[in-house]
Amino acid sequence: MLHAHCHALSIAILAGLTALSAAQAAPRDEITSTLGDQQSVAVTIYNDNLALIKDARRVTLAKELNHLAWREVSAKMRPETAQLRNLSNPAGFRLLEQNFDFDLLTPQKLLEKYLGQEVSVISRHPTTGVESRETATVLATNNGVVLKFADRVETGVPGRLAFAGVPDSLRDKPTLVISLINPVAGAQELELSYLTGGLSWRADYVAELNATDAALDLNGWVTLTNQSGAAYPNARLQLVAGDVNRVRDLPTPAPRAVMAKMQDLAGAAEMQQESLFEYHLYTLPRPTTLAENQTKQVALLSASGVPVRKEFLLQGADYYYRGQHGELGQKLKVGVFVEFKNSTDNKLGLPLPKGVVRVYKRDSAGNAQFIGEDSIDHTPKNETVRLKLGDAFDVTADKKQTDFQKIGGSGRYNYIFESSYEIVLKNAKTEAVTVTVREPMPGDWTMVNESHPHQKVAAGTAEWQIKVPAEGQTTLTYRVRVSY
């Protein structure tokens, strides 16, 4: 019932607004600028829901004092960052005051602005059809309407409401109202720049492994989302990749409702990149339109035949070197990783923005199947990209501690332990594999004996490369002394 009442209220108020135009919502001495005045717009989007807008328009101003209503700005503008410049006549041009009107004109908002004021209630006789008009004062607008007539108080709206006008603070579109001093009358080239929320981007990558898992084809896409409450037609688009520091406790305008998104796949021309301070700037080589409440994708990069290295990894833990544990696990999962170097030799060599890499491989029928995904951080040129795709189905491990001894130490921090381990690696595949066994060694450690040679890849890490035959198994044994 409440929903039906609110719907009827909206219809009643809208009927009373039919005689009012959008122009009447602004004071008569205002100069209004719309997207029709726009000469160009540049949008620079950062990773963290932040964008810089540079909106250039040609506007006719009077000499000296002007009240300029700059319409169709972002509803999530940070007004304290707004800066208006006169490119035609900068000398003597100065700003006096600016107000950001993001409270949009709706039947409910209009009614709220008339709280405590008089409105006209127009009702039609049900049989004669004759209209009558009464004056009432708006007493309340929360969870319904309360109206005070000369002889009674009523809830709800017994007819249409008519208003004397629209308050200046209510706009049909987000508007920045600027009071300024202009030195020369006539058409001026103005540029408004500001920071806004509601615009974001992320990188997504699609990789396809070849039949031997030795190379992959990589395509990168930038996904843009515009929920700022404004459109940016034919915008010069740039993206900044990097972690830009921001002060987090600044107030922002209330967000508007997000409507359904639309998908738009842009052309395949790749974006150009350059260094910018300690970040990377990507520029779309052609203008593009960012419609309101839209998701758009544009091509970032494309590379084929990128050499990759596949790795099976059994990752250990350090807790069982400090005590007696016995069985450490049966059919332990062996992780599957692929890695490649982001270098020109590998047909890449571009700074890769952080994002998600989704990896596919074709089956025997030639259909691409999803085999895993992983996220990457911002990756500079010549760095290695390492992706965990999942756990191997056919490669498993059984691990147990075969011996544990305390061989020295009486205090709290000078213990010496020796322990022995057996790891059985099993391979059900029809081809041989090499498994990396990585064990974190606590404290000061010494390998006493081992069945396969290890490498000390870091101060606290021992690593073995174990070959496991097709449909077979290999056993790794080792004994290690650790001291604390």
Question: What are the tens digits of pLDDT across the range 45-70?
Answer: 987 789 999 999 999 999 999 999 99
pLDDT digits (tens, 9 = 90+) for 391-400: 999 999 999 9
> Which contacts qualify for 356-360: CB closer than 8 Å, 24 or more apart?
356/204, 356/205, 357/205, 357/206, 357/207, 357/385, 357/387, 358/204, 358/205, 358/206, 358/207, 359/207, 359/208, 359/209, 359/216, 359/387, 359/389, 360/206, 360/207, 360/208, 360/209
Mean pLDDT to the nearest integer, 95-122? 87
Domain ranges of the chain: 13-40+55-195, 309-342+383-483
Rounded CA-CA distance 9/6 in Å is 5
> For the segment 206-222, what is each residue's pLDDT rounded down to a tens digit?
999 999 999 999 999 99
CA 203 – CA 220 distance, rounded (Å): 7
Fold designation for 309-342+383-483: Immunoglobulin-like (2.60.40)
pLDDT of residue 390: 94
The pTM is what? 0.69
Say if CB 304 and CB 374 are below 8 A apart.
no
- pLDDT at res. 226: 96
The H or E element spanning position 109 is helix 107-113
Whole-angstrom distance, CA of residue 52 vs CA of residue 458 = 44
Token pair for 187: 């058409």
What pLDDT was estimated at residue 142?
86
145-154: pLDDT as tens digits: 999 999 999 9
pLDDT of residue 268: 40
Look at residues 447, 441, 474, 42 and name the one whose alpha carbon lies nearest to residue 281.
42
Residue 297, SS3 per DSSP: strand
Instruction: Evaluate whether 290 touches 298 at the Cβ level (below 8 Å).
Output: no
What is the percent of the chain where pLDDT is above 90? 65
Q: What DSSP line would sit under 304-347, residue for residue?
A: EEEE-EEEEEEE--SGGGSS---EEEEEEEEEEEEEEE-SGGGT
For residues 346 and 382, give the distance between their C-alpha atoms in angstroms, rounded to a whole number.
9
Burial class (CB in 10 A: 0-12, 13-18, 19+), 265: exposed
pLDDT category of residue 170 using cuts at 50, 70 and 90: confident
Which residue did the predictor score with more confidence, 262 or 6?
6
Q: How many helices (H) and strands (E) does the chain have?
A: 2, 32
Closest-CA residue to 166 (of 118, 114, 115): 114
Contacts of 19 by beta carbon, 8 Å cutoff, 6+ apart: none
Asked if the model's pLDDT at residue 90 lies above 90, the reply is yes
Span 378-406, mean pLDDT?
Answer: 94
